[in-house]
Amino acid sequence: MTARTWLITGVSSGFGRGIMILIFWGRIGGIVTLIARFQVDGFEPRQVSGLDADWFGLMTFAKTFTSGIIGHATTVFMSAGTEEGSRSYVATERITGHTEDGQEGSVTVQHGGLESDPGTWFGHIVPGTGTRGFSGWSGSARIVHDDQGASFEIDLA
């Protein structure tokens, strides 16, 4: 894989903050780093049948990738806690699209952590979930924050 830069722009919301994701491809040693920005088109609260609980929330998000990867994602987002600053979440999303160089496919990413403690934030590409041009993608996929907002930092091994 050659080094390249891809940009995905947009804004979403989560934990009361804007999430902005930028995608950058650059080879450092044997690792390709992606930093991604995307747009959230909408979200819908969900319920678990037979479970009436106020200690967690469940939503699905629809996202559009508009540059670098042209496509979309569906995200299942589960949060716990109700107090601003002390909530936690875990999310699983399926990204489907094509790159600007013509690779197309799908891949699943899972990420989460405690809202108040960035040291707990984790994320990864679920091994074996890449299809077609995204086949073989693996590595970390962690959300980080900078002066432009939050971004997905994905290191492909």
Q: What is the pLDDT of residue 12?
A: 33
- Mean pLDDT value across the chain: 77
Q: What is the pLDDT of residue 5?
A: 29
Q: What is the pLDDT of residue 14?
A: 40
Q: Is 51 or 21 the better-scoring residue by pLDDT? A: 51
CA of 135: how far to CAs of 68, 93, 96, in Å? 17, 16, 12
At 6, is the secondary structure helix, strand, or coil?
coil
Q: Is 97 or 25 the better-scoring residue by pLDDT? A: 97
φ and ψ at residue 120, rounded to 5 degrees = -95, -10
Give 127-136 pLDDT, tens digit per residue.
Answer: 999 999 989 8
For tokens 């716990």, the residue is 80
Residues 6+ apart with CB under 8 A from 152: 21, 23, 34, 35, 36, 109, 111, 123, 141, 142, 143
Examine the pLDDT at 2 and tell me if it is beyond 80.
Answer: no
Full set of structural domains in the chain with CATH: 4-156 (2.40.350.10)
C-alpha dihedral (60, 62, 68, 69), degrees to nearest 10:
80
One-character DSSP codes across 133-153: GGTT--EEEEEEEETTEEEEE
Give 34-50 pLDDT, tens digit per residue.
Answer: 666 777 899 999 998 98
